[in-house]
Structure 1
């Protein structure tokens, strides 16, 4: 017997998934429609919601629009795979990795980014040179919709496919040395990221910015606490620990990766909040990855 470091798939039950679960998948897919429609308009020469049409002709923007259009199509595929029996037959990594990244990006949209954007819109603080004020709420609203229903689809999929892993009480002894190192590093990075997010929020001079940054800090700490609970092998509230570890690590990694790529390509963190904001994202990126691997090892079973 060898130690498996990834969840193993159980045999899918006969028959289709319940209607309610399939509806959740279709609702998650429907949340991509506003974004896909806007991107398709831009990619075919339209200027919907754009005040400066010349921006869309930039080769970098064109490539970015194609990439993000394709990524939203991936969300559609994930939503349907999570809620239909065909998804139960896919390799675990093919389901878990993109869903982890996706929910990490989308859940903060639900709890912080969209509410903050709506608050700015209501107070007249949502401005911009390139885009119409309505564009961000529409796009972020679609993302938040996706986040709610994709998370629900994931919960249903994980419950029927991997509940035996979550029910296990203790990590395998042979992975404990590596598990402790990864957990310590991930927790340290998460704590640093959380502190830096709070520094950025407090220095921004905006209640909305503080709320968004405080949410990022809370998610980082939740991810750390969830992984620590899994490593300690406490049987109580295992699903809560998995949810915290998953969401917190994913949010750190996804937003860290996105922000690092975008900012390094644009200005190398040379704008407002440069040092603290950049370091918060880099530590989040590293901490999120370490905590995700630690969580995976904590759930590994003999098989």
Structure 2
């Protein structure tokens, strides 16, 4: 998995490295942004690639289980969120350029877009695989014990407040998802051949899909709590994981996309008419973070219940024979 991520990182990293040292490789016209801003942006993104490889290598080792979870999981969650959309947009953008149905705005060579987006897509696959391995190893046993004991019914006002908040989050995600779908459909009807326009409507479609994933995961977790049961077929451990993965993965992608756009906005890149507004980006970031915290809360609660059962159940899944 670390090798896969490194393969995905290498083309993008080499391109950024060339730009940092003044190469014009792939650049057709100078950026409208200040030169210092562009240079710092390239240095930061290249450094993030190095950090990404380090995180993946760390997550893939058993020693990672001895490191405080937040030290690895938080940056890995944000990395997954930033990269997840490119699993879908990368191949589509590459196909658009290869078929001649999409062209760049002239600032970069046509091959730069597919290289960058496909590179991000490969990185995303590597991060998701190693993150799944880490979660299963670290909390798999606790979650299985938690599931086998059944979930406590909602009785207190505090619990009802939490689930009411979950309903508000779900409704807000549905609202944003519909907004993204409408905007993507409008952009598609314009039939723009501009590559940047294609990236924007693809991003809206991807965000809507991730919002749907988060809503499904959230509603399933709430339904299980209210019903005091796992649901049909959830005796298999994979069924206990999928709503958590949908909630955390969907939230990460929404938060990551919003955070990236907000950073660009703060650097003066701004948003063109028809793109996401500041309020929408801020709301997306908050909702994505809430989804991640919600998924984490379920796992933490599972670990606490497993600890009450006995220390044997706290061992990472798959370590039984070691």
Deviation track 1:140-159 (CA, whole Å, cap 9, x = no partner) reads 11111111121111111211
Tell which structure's C-alpha radius of gyration is larger: 2
- What is the CA–CA distance in structure 2 between the aligned matches of 1:203 and 1:265, rounded to whole Å? 28
Residues 1:262 and 1:295: Cα distance change in structure 2 (over 3 Å): same
Q: Which residue of 2 aligns with 1:11?
A: none
Aligned residues: 277
Q: Higher relative contact order at CA 8 Å, sep ≥6: structure 1 or structure 2?
A: 1
> What is the CA distance between 1:29 and its match in structure 2?
2.4
> What is the CA distance between 1:249 and its match in structure 2?
0.4
> What is the CA distance between 1:277 and its match in structure 2?
5.3
Q: CA RMSD in A?
A: 2.5
- What is the CA–CA distance in structure 1 between the aligned matches of 2:14 and 2:109, rounded to whole Å? 16
- What is the CA–CA distance in structure 1 between the aligned matches of 2:128 and 2:153, rounded to whole Å? 28
Q: Indicate yes or no: 2:222 matched with 1:231.
A: yes
Deviation track 1:277-303 (CA, whole Å, cap 9, x = no partner) reads 555433321211112112222222225
- What is the CA–CA distance in structure 2 between the aligned matches of 1:211 and 1:58, rounded to whole Å? 29
Q: Indicate yes or no: 2:182 matched with 1:199.
A: yes
- Which of residues 121, 124, 137 in structure 2 aligns to 1:160? 137
- What is the CA–CA distance in structure 1 between the aligned matches of 2:45 and 2:240, rounded to whole Å? 35
Range 213-222 or range 130-139, more displaced: 213-222
- What is the CA–CA distance in structure 1 between the aligned matches of 2:280 and 2:96, rounded to whole Å? 24
Deviation track 1:202-257 (CA, whole Å, cap 9, x = no partner) reads 22124955454222101111112212222333522221112211210001100011
Range 178-187 or range 165-174, more displaced: 165-174
* TM-score (normalised: structure 1): 0.82
Q: Which residue of 2 aligns with 1:272?
A: 273
Q: Which residue of 2 aligns with 1:257?
A: 259
- What is the CA–CA distance in structure 2 between the aligned matches of 1:119 and 1:278, rounded to whole Å? 31
Q: Indicate yes or no: 2:167 matched with 1:184.
A: yes
Residues 1:158 and 1:267: Cα distance change in structure 2 (over 3 Å): closer
* TM-score (normalised: structure 2): 0.78
